[in-house]
């Protein structure tokens, strides 16, 4: 039996290696680059998926970790990774440039096409209910520390209103607005969220609004109920009430999506979610904004009808009020982002340590501003950062996935972040400045960690002078030109070396020999040498149409 198991492991590892060999010889083509995934074909309306929040926590804390251990294929690949004889499984939905095509999941924005300060501040759109008439309460959650209203304005638009808990004014509303704008610019589909100020007298009670009494029975909401709820909400000095307004998404809600598997009743859902680059790479972006509650419960599938009449599922990230330093109704604890709620990696050392085993995050930093909550950049580690519950896609994040997410984070300049943070309407200027500094520091840590693991050359373009690129580490001020050298070598179409290794001169581009035959594919392998950085190559393949006319057809990054 043991001998048979050994054979099985060897067979699985050989299969992993075979995938790498096949990938290395992948067909090169001058066909247009795939920048759109046609997953918007019309489908019949699928059923609503309801997710029990308690089961969601149990599933990700206990069931998923156990099934992961029993996955022989993944375990074998993991052993192969450690022994350096099998590659990590890469994302399934990337194009030949190692980028993510636009789809019902994702739209390329700020990294590929820079957004100005106005567009960054606008995000997916402003969520400002119409003030020409009353705001009719049609439903809500009126109990607990942070009540929520669902209102309909005079234009018949529906909004969800969320409020900050007492003692932590501006905390959750700022976090949700700022993170919404960041995630939108990063490329994700998110709701329109804005900080809004209104007067209590604008609210009216609709006939369908109900509350739950002390005995758990539902009854119609009364004005006394409304006044009781409003009394728990802190008011501004001028009597205004601050809230987050979230405009209801267009379409029919179908429930959540998981970060693993596929939705079987959606023919457009062809890629297992744990193998989608935009979900894997979200780990790097989420670590930056401390989006620790990024799980199925905080996603939403919408059945939409587009301008061409096509009906399909569009996938959204929602509920960003547990990001940055906010835990929705209170600040995060120091543990947030450093350990899972149930983290078997640390339980045994903590028990056996008898109190002597201390973790870096246990020396809590002070909360300087209640409106920011608990957010720090000193202990923060992009390598160690985790969500509250294991996220299957995040755990599949490879170096290439992490690099993709990190370069999106690094695309936000200091000025970009200042423009976004301003939309959070923090009343204390010093709190606003501190939040900007923390986002900058955490962004740079994310970039530094992932850029050191992958050769961070990007934004390639080619002309008659040769191949040009940007070194994102230098662009992001994570490295200097003085400490950097580039070496390159030409390759045949199948990746075999042609000619000597050369060091790039000060021209800033790699010249292409003018005697290369027309109608052939070639590659250029570039290595970036910096002390303390991984020695990884990036290969750029191109086609020669004629002298001086070239076309980039593929980019390969060494994992």
Which of 432, 451, 470 is where one domain is finished? 451
Quick one: tokens of 361?
Answer: 């995050």
Of 230, 250, 270, the residue at which a domain comes to its end is: 250
Number of domains into which the chain is organized: 3
Structure tokens at 549: 């006319």
Q: Is residue 477 part of a domain?
A: yes
For residue 286, being part of any structural domain is answered with: yes
Could you tell me if 107 and 244 lie in one domain?
no
Question: Tokens 């606003």, residue?
Answer: 432
In a domain, 411, yes or no: yes
Which long-range CB contacts under 8 A does 145-154 form with residues at least 24 apart? 145/329, 145/330, 146/172, 146/328, 146/329, 147/229, 147/232, 147/233, 149/203, 151/203, 152/206, 153/129, 154/130
**134 and 262 inside one domain:** no
> Which tokens in the block code for residue 262?
């596929």
Q: Is the pLDDT of residue 239 over 60?
A: yes
How far apart are alpha carbons 173 and 239 in whole angstroms?
Answer: 18
- On whether the CB atoms of residues 362 and 180 are closer than 8 A, the answer is no
Q: Which domain holds residue 295?
A: 43-71+87-118+255-451
Residue range 43-60, pLDDT digits in tens:
999 999 887 677 777 777
pLDDT at 274 over 90: yes
Q: Please check the confidence at residue 357 and state whether its pLDDT lies above 80.
A: no
| pLDDT more than 70, % of the chain | 89
Buried b (16+ CB within 10 A) or exposed e, 362-397: eeeeebebbbbbbbbeebbebeebbbbbbbbbbbbb
Whether residue 22 has pLDDT greater than 60: no
Question: Does 353 share its domain with 399?
Answer: yes
Q: Are residues 105 and 230 in the same domain?
A: no
Q: Given a cut of 80, is residue 77 above it in pLDDT?
A: no
Question: How large is the average pLDDT for residues 99-116?
Answer: 98
Residue 345 has a pLDDT of 76
Cα angle, residue 151 at apex, residues 331 and 319 outer, rounded to 5°: 35
Helices (H), 379-453: 392-395, 399-410, 414-422, 429-451
Considering the domain boundaries, does residue 2 fall inside one? no
- Exposed / middle / buried, residue 237 (Cβ in 10 Å: 0-12, 13-18, 19+): exposed
Give the residue among 441, 457, 323, 456 at the shortest CA–CA distance from 376. Answer: 441
Query: What's the CA gap between 5 and 9, in Å, rounded?
Result: 6
237 and 369 inside one domain: no
Q: What percent of the chain has pLDDT over 90?
A: 77
Sign (positive/negative) of CA torsion 259, 314, 164, 221? negative
**Interatomic CA distance for residues 489 and 237, integer angstroms:** 67
In this structure, are residues 246 and 127 in contact, taking their beta carbons and an 8 Å threshold? Answer: yes
Task: Based on the fold, state whether residues 233 and 347 are members of the same structural domain.
Answer: no
Adjacency order of strands within the sheet including 158-162: 193-198, 241-247, 158-162, 148-152, 135-141, 203-205
Element containing residue 315 per DSSP (H, E): strand 311-317
User: Could you tell me if residue 34 is inside a domain?
Assistant: no
How many residues does this entry show for the chain?
559
β-pairing verdict for 135-141 and 203-205: parallel
Convert the pLDDT of each residue in 447-474 to its tens digit.
Answer: 999 999 999 999 999 999 999 999 999 9
Phi and psi at 361, nearest 5°, equal -80, -10
What residues does 450 pair with on adjacent strands? none
The pLDDT of residue 359 is above 50? yes
- Mark whether 543 and 489 lie in a shared domain: yes
pLDDT bin (cut points 50, 70, 90) of residue 341 is confident
Q: 427 with 302, same domain?
A: yes
Within 10 angstroms of residue 466's Cβ, the number of other Cβ atoms is 15
CA atoms of 52 and 149, how far apart (whole Å): 22
101-115, 244-258, 500-514: which range is least confident on average?
500-514
Answer yes or no: do 307 and 406 share one domain.
yes
Per the domain annotation, does 184 fall within a domain? no
Q: Distance between CA atoms of 363 and 30, rounded to whole angstroms?
A: 56
Q: Using the 8-state DSSP alphabet, how is residue 49 labeled? A: B
**Span 106-111, mean pLDDT?**
98
Among 235, 250, 265, residue at a domain's last position: 250
Report yes or no on 409 lying in a domain: yes
Q: Does 333 reside within a domain?
A: yes
Q: Are residues 500 and 482 in the same domain?
A: yes
Residue 84: the pLDDT is 62
CATH number for position 507: 2.60.40
Average pLDDT along the chain? 90
- The whole-angstrom separation of Cα 28 and Cα 230 is 64
Q: For residues 467 and 533, state if they share a domain.
A: yes
* Residue-wise pLDDT tens digits, 488-543: 999 999 899 999 999 998 778 999 999 999 999 999 999 999 999 999 999 999 99
Closest CA to 456 of 382, 403, 510, 532: 403
Q: Are residues 465 and 397 in the same domain?
A: no
């Amino acid at each position: 039996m043991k001998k048979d198991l050994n054979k099985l492991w060897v067979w699985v590892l050989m299969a992993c290696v075979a995938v790498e060999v096949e990938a290395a010889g992948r067909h090169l083509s001058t066909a247009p680059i795939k920048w759109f995934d046609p997953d918007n074909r019309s489908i019949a309306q699928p059923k609503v998926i309801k997710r029990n929040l308690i089961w969601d926590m149990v599933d990700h804390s206990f069931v998923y970790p156990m099934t992961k251990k029993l996955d022989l294929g993944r375990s074998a690949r993991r052993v192969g990774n450690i022994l350096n004889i099998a590659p990590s499984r890469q994302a399934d939905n990337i194009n030949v440039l190692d980028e993510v095509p636009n789809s019902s999941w994702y739209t390329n924005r700020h990294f590929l096409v820079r957004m100005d300060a106005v567009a960054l501040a606008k995000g997916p759109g402003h969520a400002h209910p119409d003030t020409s008439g009353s705001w009719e309460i049609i439903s809500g959650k009126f109990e607990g520390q942070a009540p929520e209203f669902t209102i309909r304005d005079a234009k018949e638009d529906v909004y969800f209103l969320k409020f900050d808990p007492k003692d932590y004014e501006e905390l959750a509303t700022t976090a949700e607005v700022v993170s919404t704008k960041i995630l939108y610019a990063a490329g994700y589909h998110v709701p329109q969220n804005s900080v809004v100020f209104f007067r209590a007298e604008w609210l009216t009670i609709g006939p369908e609004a109900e509350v739950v009494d002390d005995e758990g029975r539902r009854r119609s909401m009364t004005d006394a109920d409304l006044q009781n709820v409003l009394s728990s909400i802190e008011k501004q000095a001028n009597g205004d009430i601050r809230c987050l307004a979230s405009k209801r998404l267009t379409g029919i809600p179908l429930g959540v999506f998981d970060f693993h598997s596929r939705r079987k009743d959606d023919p457009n859902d062809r890629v297992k979610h744990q193998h989608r680059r935009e979900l894997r790479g979200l780990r790097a972006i989420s670590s930056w904004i401390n989006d620790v509650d990024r799980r199925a419960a905080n996603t939403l599938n919408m059945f939409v009808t587009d301008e061409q009449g096509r009906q399909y599922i569009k996938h959204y990230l929602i509920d960003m009020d547990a990001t940055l330093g906010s835990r929705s109704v209170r600040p995060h604890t120091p543990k947030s982002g450093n350990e899972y709620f149930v983290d078997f990696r640390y339980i045994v050392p903590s028990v056996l340590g008898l109190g002597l085993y201390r973790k870096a995050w246990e020396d809590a930093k002070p909360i300087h501003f209640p409106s920011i909550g608990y957010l720090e950049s000193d202990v923060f580690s992009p390598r160690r950062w985790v969500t509250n519950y294991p996220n299957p896609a995040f755990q599949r994040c490879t170096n290439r996935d992490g690099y993709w997410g990190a370069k999106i984070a690094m695309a936000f300049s200091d000025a970009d972040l200042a423009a976004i943070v301003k939309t959070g309407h923090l009343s204390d200027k010093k709190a606003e400045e501190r939040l900007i500094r923390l986002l900058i520091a955490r962004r740079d840590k994310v970039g530094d960690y992932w850029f050191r693991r992958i050769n961070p050359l990007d934004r390639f373009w080619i002309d008659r002078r040769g191949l040009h690129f940007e070194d994102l580490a230098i662009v992001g001020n994570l490295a200097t030109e003085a400490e950097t050298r580039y070496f390159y070598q030409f390759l045949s179409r199948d990746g075999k070396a042609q000619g000597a290794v050369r060091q790039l001169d000060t021209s800033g581009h790699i010249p292409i020999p003018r005697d290369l035959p027309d109608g052939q594919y070639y590659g250029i392998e570039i290595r970036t040498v910096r002390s303390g950085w991984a020695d990884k190559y990036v290969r750029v393949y191109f086609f020669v149409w004629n002298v001086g006319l070239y076309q980039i057809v593929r980019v390969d990054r060494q994992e």
